[in-house]
Amino acid sequence: MELGLFTNITFQSIAVSAIGIFGFVVGALVYSRDIRRIDNLAFFLLAWSFSMWSLLLGVFESIDISSLEYLILISVYMFAALIPPAVMFFAMTLFVGGKTTFTPLKISFIVAPFALIAVLLFIPDFFFMDIKNNGTAAKEIIFGPGFIIFATYVFLYITASIVLLFKKFKRSAGVFRTEILYVLLSIFIGALFILFVNIAFPYVDIYSLFWVGPLAGIFVLCTIAYLVIKYNFWNLKLAATDLFTSLISLTLLFELTLSNSLTDFIIKILILALVLISGLFLVRSVRHEIDSREEVEKLAKDLAKVNNNLHILDKQKSIFVATSAHHLRDPLTAIKGYASMTLEGSFGKLSKDSKEAMDRILKSSQRLVVIINDFMDIEKIESGEMDYVFSKVDLKKMIKDMVVEMTPIAKDSGLELKFNFDDTKEYRVNADEGKIRQVVSNLVDNAIKYTPHGSVCISLTKQSDGKEITLKIFDTGIGMKQDTIKKIFHKFSRADEASKFHTGGSGLGLYVAKEILKKHNGRIWAESPGLGEGSAFYLELKSM
């Protein structure tokens, strides 16, 4: 068969060139899986040197231009000489991960013999004396005296590589031991075929089996690639990218056979080289995209794990707080009781100073009880164990009773406590009376604490449609900034201005109030014109 520059095209020569392209694809496929691993890089270099040898061998057997034949033959054996050190490099780096250490001695051991062979190849009549094309399926090469050096070089390198792999096999275990065994066997079998068919046979004038070596080589590459697929994860997108690149490369390879001149042939060779390089970069970019996505997925899993651990820690914290609060409440109840009895004179008359001190003890213990109750409520809310007993509640009556109880406290602070409502209307809701009383009491108590002078007013209003009842508690106190209003219903959050008046407080009362109102299908919010202009808190509940 004759096409352009190629006057001796055979099925074997086309197959050998195609094997070369396929070998490059296999190498790129493995390398693109993880470009950070040095053993993947070593495999790619092995596949690249093999693919160039096989591709050029097919071209050499197909072309019949004396000015190119000798140059292509030198290139064939140049890449053939590169295969043994590539095998050694792969054997040395197999399963070492992302990094390995190469001393100058190791580098010299790998590179120096190849450099010597590369120089010797260009000495006329040292390796090759003549090329004959007798019209058969393969060209005849008359070897020079230097070919024995080449054969010895290949044999020693391959032997050293096999010995190195065997040592790694003996030291390894588990899945790595199995994988090294298959790598070792495949390289051993492939090396036997190449040493006999492509080195020994041509030396004794048997040339027709030149295609067996590339076939054995692609078997080795595919075996190693299969092991990567078998013992690691595979990505379909990456495989599709490699397939696309290989199809374009094979098409351009076929175009080489249609070259009409030497210039046309060189141009197409350059285009093929550019496509191969571009394909490699494309595969690398896809690999980078896949790695990025896998990294994001890994981070998402790690975040989920951390979030789960935080939930566990939060639950343990809640249990600890509840247990601590439970153990603290009993002695505080006793302190509060004895302080109250002492103030009432149950243990004898107290002096004025003693009364003031005991009064402080009583008030402090009362505040601590409130804080502990808030902590216990938080634990119940977060664990879903807060019990609610819903019934018909008359808000007007409940707040009247509360105002009677809290008026003395307001008077002690020099404040007026007022309650406004429409006596002609009913203010009944379906609620847990104890929980709603707790919320309102907390809000009124806060209003009294943070109002230096003036008044605290409670009002009840009913919407015109009668569906909602709004309870408003407004004061003439210290007021709030808008930023403060946004955060006061969060857990452990207090207004910055509040700590100037009262250093105590857990920052939980309003959070508990918000959670309680949620369970009542109601809502709570706050408003304030600004600092020093008072505050208003609103509770909205469904009317019965």
DSSP 308-359: HHHHHHHHHHHHHHHHHHHHHHHHHHHHHHHHHHHHTTTT----HHHHHHHH
Alpha-carbon span 287 to 444, nearest angstrom = 64
Distance CA 321, CA 318 (A): 5
- The Cα-based distances of 100 to 42, 92, 110, 471 in angstroms read 12, 9, 15, 74
Helix (H, G, I), strand (E, B) or coil at 130: strand
Give the model's pLDDT for residue 202.
77
The yes or no reply on domain 391-542 and CATH 1.25.40.10 is no
More confident residue, 214 or 280: 214
Least confident of 250-254, 332-336, 435-439, 451-455: 250-254
User: What percent of the chain lies above the pLDDT cut of 70?
Assistant: 81
Angle between helical axes of 212-231 and 174-193 (0-180°, round to 10): 170
Give Cα separations from 259 to 3, 138, 338 (angstroms). Answer: 7, 21, 110
Phi, psi (degrees; rounded to nearest 5) at 420: -115, 135
- Assign 538 a pLDDT band (cuts: 50, 70, 90): very high
Do residues 68 and 77 touch, judged by C-beta distance below 8 A? Answer: no
Give the whole-angstrom CA distance, residue 400 versus residue 387.
Answer: 25
Q: Are 429 and 544 in contact (CB under 8 A)?
A: yes
Q: What is the pLDDT of residue 355?
A: 80
Task: Give the rounded distance of the alpha carbon of 425 from its chain centre.
Answer: 61
CA pair distance 168, 163, nearest whole angstrom: 9
CA angle (264 as vertex; 258, 265 as ends), nearest 5:
70
Q: Check pLDDT > 60 for residue 323.
A: yes
Per CATH, the architecture of 11-260 is what?
A: Up-down Bundle (1.20)
Q: pLDDT tens digits, residue range 368-401? A: 777 777 767 767 776 677 788 899 999 999 999 8
CA distance 17 to 14: 5
pLDDT value for 255: 67
Residue 470 has pLDDT above 60, yes or no: yes
The C-alpha atoms of residue 130 and residue 142 are separated, in whole angstroms, by 5
pLDDT tens-digit profile of 251-263? 666 666 566 677 7
**348 phi and psi, to 5 degrees?**
110, 165
Q: How would you class 405 by CB atoms within 10 Å of its CB: exposed for 0-12, middle for 13-18, buried for 19 or more?
A: exposed
| Mean pLDDT within 437-456 | 89
| HEC string for 482-494 | HHHHHHCCCCCCC
Give the 3-state secondary structure of residue 514.
Answer: helix
Name the one residue in this structure whose structure tokens are 């392209």. Answer: 21
Q: How confident is the model at residue 498 (pLDDT cuts 50, 70, 90)?
A: low
Average pLDDT (351-361) is: 81
SS3 419: strand
Enter the pTM of the model: 0.46
pLDDT at 332 over 70: yes
Q: What is the pLDDT of residue 483?
A: 84
Length of the chain: 544
Burial of residue 126 (CB within 10 Å: 0-12, 13-18, 19+) is middle
Average pLDDT over residues 23-27: 83
> Higher-confidence residue: 421 or 134?
421
Angle at 121 between CA 115 and CA 123, to 5 degrees: 115
Q: What is the mean pLDDT of residues 53-79?
A: 82
Largest Cα–Cα distance in the chain?
Answer: 134
pLDDT digits (tens, 9 = 90+) for 71-120: 888 888 899 899 999 988 888 887 665 455 667 777 777 788 888 888 88
DSSP 8-state class, residue 4: T
Q: What whole-number distance in Å separates Cα of residue 304 and Cα of residue 78?
A: 54
> Alpha-carbon distance 118 to 146, whole Å?
12
**Residue 411 burial by Cβ neighbours in a 10 Å radius (0-12, 13-18, 19+):** exposed
Decide if pLDDT at 67 tops 90. Answer: no
- In a 3-state reduction of DSSP, which class is residue 416? strand
The residues spanned by each domain of the chain are 11-260, 312-383, 391-542
pLDDT at site 263? 77
The Cα–Cα gap between 53 and 353 comes to 105
Whether the pLDDT of residue 239 is over 70: the answer is no
Three-state DSSP class for residue 428:
strand
Cα separations (Å) of 1 from 7, 12, 137, 220, 268? 6, 12, 11, 31, 20
For residue 3 the two structure tokens come to 């096409």
Cα distance between residue 531 and residue 544, in whole Å:
37
CA–chain centroid gap for 509, Å, is 39
CB of 522 closer than 8 Å to CB of 463: no
Q: How far apart are CA 230 and CA 223, in angstroms?
A: 10
> β-strand 523-527 against 468-475: which pairing, if any?
unpaired
pLDDT at 3: 45
Q: Is the pLDDT of residue 136 over 80?
A: no
What's residue 234's pLDDT? 46
pLDDT at 233 over 50: no
User: % helix / strand / coil in the chain, to the nearest 5?
Assistant: 65, 10, 25
Which residue in 153, 177, 151, 152 sits closest to 165, CA to CA?
A: 177
- Extract the tokens encoding 40: 């993947």
To 10 degrees, the CA torsion angle through 139, 144, 146, 152? 50
Instruction: Give the single-character DSSP code of 498.
Output: G
Strands 523-527 and 415-420: unpaired
Residue 285: pLDDT over 80: no
Res. 5: pLDDT tops 70: no
Mark out the alpha helices in 63-203 (DSSP H runs): 66-93, 104-121, 147-171, 174-193, 201-203
Amino acid occupying residue 509: G
Average pLDDT over residues 478-503: 75
Give tens-digit pLDDT for 151-199: 899 899 899 888 988 888 888 776 677 778 888 888 888 888 888 887 8
